[in-house]
Structure 1
Amino acid sequence: MVSISANNFKLHRHPSLFHNCKNGPHLFSLHFRSSKIRATISVASDTESATQTKDTSEVDLFACAVCYEPLIRKGPAGFNLPAIYRSGFKCKNCKKTYSSKNIYLDLTVTAGAKDYSESRPVRTELFRSPLVSFLYERGWRQSFDRSGFPGPDEEFKMAQEYFKVAEGGVLVDVSCGSGLFSRKFAQSGAYSRVIALDFSENMLRQCYDFIKSDDSILNSNLALVRADVSRLPFSSASVDAVHAGAALHCWSSPSNAIAEINRVLRSGGVFVGTTFLRYTASTPAILRPLRQQLLQNYNYLTEEEIEDLCTSCGLINYTSKVQQSFIMFSAQKP
């Protein structure tokens, strides 16, 4: 029996291994960083071989939120809602286990905790509310056009232009809310896998409510994952595209979140986000302090601050489009 150790290697996207399989790889996805491969030879008895064949587990895209080691998956093959939520996941390093809540896969650090919960900023808890989650696509998101947001359909088209270099790869829609854009990305067929990720349990439930009546999405290469954007449950350099729609201003630490996004992106991977600006170049100087005071409960940034944040976290090729208080920005992993 030959086992290959590839902890220090990276394999750039290869269609036959990653992206041309609609339901995801059914064996191991290896990541190579150099031309050297260490192989060890071991001899297994017939009994041992039979046991290993019976217990063979799939190494999936997901990683442990505690130690970032890949998770071993046991369950039906495939990358879609029904298959993933009939599977169990376990960290091969720290042995922490993760399971689904029937609707979403919980990959937070505190997954499985019985007596411990963390208090979050008010803006975070607001979006965990069942009422706000229900209203998000039923009037809340539509009100953004008053601040210059061009509307979901146009925003999706704009994002797709930035993501052309990531077509066929893995896309993560962080802070996805009710999955407004996650569903569009999944329906587009442009990506091998789409992960709708949010910290709010109720947003993910709303996302599932929109999906469950549409078999074309329910059985597509889409997963719903609960996770913290500041501790993304993916291996380093494993994701081709990250989208964050109207989200950055809600993050408790934008710098930690963008550093995490940079970590999980592959070389050449793209990050696209939209948010509200604190003020723009056209905002009269006399109004800027007042606007900053009114918006202090959120992390509204300026154009210059967003660019500086992306570049300071290691991203390059920053570009942006601004309309009133709306900004769509893009940056790339070197």
Structure 2
Amino acid sequence: MATASFSLQPLHKAFSIPNYPQLDSNSRFRPHLRYSSNGFPSIAIRASSTVTLEPDTISQQNQSAELFACPVCYEPLTRKGPLGLNLEAIYRSGFKCKKCKKSYSSKEIYLDLTVTAGLRDYSEDQPTRTELFRSPLVSFLYERGWRQNFSQGGFPGPDEEFKMAQDYFKSVEGGVLVDVSCGSGLFSRKFAKSGTYSGVVALDFSENMLRQSYDFIKRDAALLSSNLALVRADVSRLPFTSCSVDAVHAGAALHCWPSPSNAVAEITRILRSGGVFVGTTFLRYTRSTPGIIRPPRQRFLQNYNNLTEEEIEDLCTSCGLTNYSSKVQQSFIMFSAQKP
């Protein structure tokens, strides 16, 4: 079998970003976006020590500072670097936990906010399904044939799924959306380009999925300059402060999580009051599946956490979510629930 080769350009090269300047406390950043001959934006930053921060800048700074949290102790991270929830600003920023003193930084194109970030010697084995999606080949193939096969299970296709999700997210438009287990960023890009949200965080545990996501993003200058950030994190240990996120999306993901209950509990924790969680997954079987078919199907899917309609609703309810609703087509389900 032929293997795919990659030539990903580090973010600092694509953006042509100079070293971050040291400015005094009265300085203000003024980013000016230009487009170079290769189609990618480069940023020129001028500092002025005579202008005070405007209210919207202060609001942006506070929002950014309160969003990310240490995955070890959940304390809000302090940030040193330019403002903004976008690739360029996140890349040039450093983050540190005041409580446990652990530091976090970008790995070329994504911010690593896993518990194991920065460790040199320690390693741990992950479930087979987790390691599968960390593979460079699977990451490369995900939008090049892998995802298209989901139609055989009843998935209506990315465009229709996006429209369905947007309907569920109507009440949280203008807020921050986190696309957990984003894979190659298929839906993260759609959410960011929609202009519906103040910020979109594309989050995945797979380093190669995040690299592939950036490979797609860098082809679109509008996405490169949008409020879209790439973050590596564990869905069972989300690096966000409690009640800080307006919307969480999980596309074709729940069945791959080692512990769906831990993940949904974490999603509930980070959602604001009124926040919405929308997910899609493969069902183990539906209410209409004949009883004779259920045991073989359950054995076939035993390597994944495929749940039933009833189990998904029970899980969301037990984690404190309300207003549950769902749409089912064959083994496809899109469900939504809200934090009170």
TM-score with structure 1 length normalisation? 0.84
SS of the residue aligned with 1:63?
Answer: coil
SS of the residue aligned with 2:292?
Answer: helix
Over aligned residue pairs, what C-alpha RMSD do you find?
1.3
1 CA distance for matches of 2:102 and 2:200? 24
Kindly state the Cα deviation for residue 60 of structure 1 after the two structures are TM-superposed.
Answer: 4.5
Aligned residue among 61, 71, 90 for 1:27: 61
Q: 1:297 to 1:77 in 2, by over 3 A?
A: same
The one-letter code sitting in structure 2 at the alignment partner of 1:258 is: V
The one-letter code sitting in structure 1 at the alignment partner of 2:219 is: S
Residue equivalent to 1:247 = 253
Kindly state the Cα deviation for residue 231 of structure 1 after the two structures are TM-superposed.
Answer: 0.4
| CA offset digits 1:267-299 (Å, max 9, x no partner) | 000000000000112211011001000100000
Residue equivalent to 2:321 = 315
1 CA distance for matches of 2:228 and 2:282? 28
Residue equivalent to 2:121 = 115
Answer yes or no: is the 8 Å Cα contact 1:25–1:78 preserved in 2: no
Kindly state the Cα deviation for residue 28 of structure 1 after the two structures are TM-superposed.
Answer: 2.8
Answer yes or no: is the 8 Å Cα contact 1:24–1:192 preserved in 2: no
The aligned runs of 1:176-325 (5 Å cut-off) are 176-325=182-331
1 CA distance for matches of 2:131 and 2:186? 20
Residue equivalent to 1:155 = 161
Kindly state the Cα deviation for residue 26 of structure 1 after the two structures are TM-superposed.
Answer: 4.4
Answer yes or no: is the 8 Å Cα contact 1:60–1:73 preserved in 2: no
The list of structure 1 runs, each at least 4 consecutive aligned residues, that deviate by more than 6 angstroms after superposition, is none
Kindly state the Cα deviation for residue 83 of structure 1 after the two structures are TM-superposed.
Answer: 1.1
2 CA distance for matches of 1:224 and 1:80? 8
Residue equivalent to 1:90 = 96
Kindly state the Cα deviation for residue 27 of structure 1 after the two structures are TM-superposed.
Answer: 3.4
Aligned residue among 130, 150, 154 for 2:136: 130
- What are structure 2's unaligned runs of at least 5 residues? 1-54
The one-letter code sitting in structure 1 at the alignment partner of 2:62 is: F
SS of the residue aligned with 1:27?
Answer: helix
TM-score with structure 2 length normalisation? 0.82
SS of the residue aligned with 1:210?
Answer: helix
- What are structure 1's unaligned runs of at least 5 residues? 1-19, 30-57
Kindly state the Cα deviation for residue 65 of structure 1 after the two structures are TM-superposed.
Answer: 0.4
| CA offset digits 1:238-259 (Å, max 9, x no partner) | 0000000000000000000000
2 CA distance for matches of 1:302 and 1:200? 26
